[in-house]
Structure 1
Amino acid sequence: MSNKAETKHLKLRGNIWWYQRRVPKHLSHHYPNQSFIQISLDTGDIREARKKRNVLNGELERKSLSMTSNSESLRFRELVREMDRDRKNYPHDWDAGIYPDRLEEQGRKLELEAYMTVNGRQDFSRKYRLTISEGFQMWLDDIGHTKTEEHSKKIEKAIKKFGTYCFKHFDWVDSPDIAIEDIERKMVYSFIKHLGKTLKKSTVQATISRINTIWMYLERVDELEGKNPFKDHIYSNAEADQSEKREAFTKDEVKKIQAHKWEKPVYKLLVDLGIYSGCRISELCNLKKKDVVEDDGIVAMNIEKGKTRAATRTVPLPDFIGQRLLEHIKDKDEDDLVLGISSKTASRTFSNFKTRYISQSKLKAFHSFRHMYITAMERAGVEENVTAQIVGHERGKTMSYGYYSKGHELKKLKEAVEKGLRLMGTAEY
């Protein structure tokens, strides 16, 4: 923990530590005529002061959470927009049917505060501000069902990481669930620099892009306005300027990988499927028995759950690996996972094995098989659009098994696969 984080909201006066922080804007009505919260912690021990500070921070957070729910926040903003429209269209009698005293008597606090905000008596908009997690939930409820579960979880993770970073490093941020209107460009820039210390350029860009997805959605549904702080950033540093393309395993390394005696035999199948299909490890781990199909002697995999919607496709397999796959799943139920291991566990297991027995290079990983597969297809003269269709780089005319007509196109794809994989120099070719 940095020294700045250790003493955040703490100030030493004489020999006594004080809790001192600016009043959070959305709690300002709880502290009228007060810009700062200042409380003596009655201790000169920094460790005790930190404990008391954390308790006070927790109390403020609970007060904030108890103020309003996401549904109340959304309803408040809808009411304000409706009243604003009425005020613009009917400036003389827009509030003729609104009786503040009656609203107060009936305990309709939300409607009363919306009315007071619009008529200028007191602005409650900060109390019902839109937070980044609320924006994510709106996106999830509205269009999240059109995305993969993995994609949605990555967006949620990126949002939480950004909010936590801002809460720790910017004094005016009063919660990890940061308000959208509080996000400034310099905060995003600082976050990018922070991520760049340990992550690759492409990973940093992907993280910002995921948060930007929520910002752009909220713009489209008219929940926010102003410049987008996540756009047009420069991602450049010493590490980022280096090539980040995966390195291919050598022929000897591939033979060593295939010859390895795994503790769980299913990893042998996982590796061979990676080599001979070009699929991502997550796609293979999400594969179910019902996704393995056979037509006219050709065994293929329906990739229904990929990195993106464009990844949905059918991948024909070489005969030897196709038969092994059928044998492996013969006693499974239709909805059973083919491999029975999560992509996270599989990635970690293969990475540990690779580092220990094959190579220390960070650019060599399971994903290298995909790059090798695509390279082999290119060198074999397979048309780019055919390769793209097989590996799921762009949407083609036939993206699931049900679209094939009598297996004709599947045969053409199988021929392309065999043509490309002969150049990989692995044991069976």
Structure 2
Amino acid sequence: MKVKAGIAKDARLSFDRADLGKVLNLTALKREAQKHAWRYWLPLLGRATGARLEELCQLFTDDIITLQGTPCIRIDDTHKEQKLKNESSRRVLPIHPELIQLGFLSYVENVRLSEAHRLFPDLEARRDQLGHAPSKWFGRYRYKHGVCDPRKTFHSFRHTFIDDLRDAGVQDSLLKRLVGHVDGSMTFGVYGSRIPLEAMLNAITGLDLHITQ
């Protein structure tokens, strides 16, 4: 019983709609971004991509690409500073149109013009993890804004992303590709012409991010 209780206590939960409205409030995020731009973009990216925190923190500007005419984020270990959890983590994700409307591509271009290489250049690794400071910050931030359950962490964006796409009827093999899970039925290359990019974009575009003003 003690083991089961421990597992239940440590299990991460998804965010509900009310939670998302609180942690994805643009006024609050812009206030936080006065100190670090990543405080604005990381929660939005986590919600819109379902990517792991470290995957987002270690992005380089050249990981923002255009594929088949679609702006995308490349999750890869092209640079020596980047690490993947496993081989299936290597993937390409279409960028949600709402992020583009909010100015994400403009932010990327501004970072490029500054001659920085990493997308969030002011992040510093601690314990070999660039996500250490963002994880600690997000814990304080979501608590401050009324999301107090300790099982709701930054990783909850990933759980929520998966739950929402499953509820929307997204095919399991496509969902696994989006979040970087192993799928034995996938026999085509990650960057080949057979990437189901249109289906991926449709799935992501159909996701209501529940961003508030």
TM-score over 0.5 for the pair: yes
Match of 1:389 in 2: 177
Q: Deviations over 1:97-132 (max 9, x none)?
A: xxxxxxxxxxxxxxxxxxxxxxxxxxxxxxxxxxxx
Match of 1:70 in 2: none
Name the SS of the counterpart of 1:386 in structure 2: helix
Check the 8 A contact 1:311/1:391 in 2, yes or no. Answer: yes
Check the 8 A contact 2:58/2:118 in 1, yes or no. Answer: yes
CA distance in structure 2 between the aligned counterparts of 1:269 and 1:404, rounded to whole angstroms: 30
Match of 2:118 in 1: 337
- Tell me which of the two structures has the higher relative contact order, counting C-alpha pairs closer than 8 angstroms and 6 or more residues apart: 2
Q: Deviations over 1:150-201 (max 9, x none)?
A: xxxxxxxxxxxxxxxxxxxxxxxxxxxxxxxxxxxxxxxxxxxxxxxxxxxx
Match of 1:427 in 2: 211
Name the SS of the counterpart of 1:371 in structure 2: helix
Name the SS of the counterpart of 2:170 in structure 1: coil
How much has 1:397 moved relative to structure 2? 4.1
Equivalent position to 1:311, from 78, 89, 95: 89
The structure with the larger Rg is 1
CA distance in structure 2 between the aligned counterparts of 1:320 and 1:380, rounded to whole angstroms: 18
Match of 2:63 in 1: 291
Query: Which residue identity does 1:254 align to in structure 2?
Result: L
Match of 1:183 in 2: none
How much has 1:310 moved relative to structure 2? 1.7
Query: Which residue identity does 2:108 align to in structure 1?
Result: I
Whether 2:132 is the aligned partner of 1:354: answer no
Q: TM-score, normalised by structure 1?
A: 0.40
Name the SS of the counterpart of 2:6 in structure 1: coil
Match of 2:104 in 1: 325
Residues 236, 403 of structure 1: alpha-carbon distance in 2 compared, 3 angstrom cutoff: farther
Match of 2:167 in 1: 379
Match of 2:205 in 1: 418
Equivalences, count: 188
CA distance in structure 2 between the aligned counterparts of 1:391 and 1:322, rounded to whole angstroms: 20
Q: How does 1:66-81 map to 2 (within 5 A)?
A: none
CA distance in structure 2 between the aligned counterparts of 1:319 and 1:269, rounded to whole angstroms: 14
Write 1 or 2 for the structure with the bigger share of helix.
1
Q: Deviations over 1:320-339 (max 9, x none)?
A: 31463221111334871112
Q: How does 1:115-194 map to 2 (within 5 A)?
A: none
Check the 8 A contact 1:313/1:398 in 2, yes or no. Answer: no
Query: How high is the sequence identity, in percent, across the aligned residues?
Result: 22
Q: Deviations over 1:296-327 (max 9, x none)?
A: 44211110143222211111121231463221
CA distance in structure 2 between the aligned counterparts of 1:382 and 1:353, rounded to whole angstroms: 31
Q: Deviations over 1:50-91 (max 9, x none)?
A: xxxxxxxxxxxxxxxxxxxxxxxxxxxxxxxxxxxxxxxxxx
CA root-mean-square deviation: 2.5
Q: Mark the runs of 5 or more structure 1 residues left unpaired by the alignment.
A: 1-234
CA distance in structure 1 between the aligned counterparts of 2:187 and 2:203, rounded to whole angstroms: 17
Whether 2:17 is the aligned partner of 1:251: answer yes
Q: TM-score, normalised by structure 2?
A: 0.77
Whether 2:138 is the aligned partner of 1:366: answer no
CA distance in structure 1 between the aligned counterparts of 2:157 and 2:104, rounded to whole angstroms: 18
Q: Mark the runs of 5 or more structure 2 residues left unpaired by the alignment.
A: 77-82, 124-129
Name the SS of the counterpart of 1:354 in structure 2: helix
Query: Which residue identity does 1:283 align to in structure 2?
Result: E
Query: Which residue identity does 2:99 align to in structure 1?
Result: I
CA distance in structure 2 between the aligned counterparts of 1:237 and 1:314, rounded to whole angstroms: 38
Name the SS of the counterpart of 1:240 in structure 2: helix
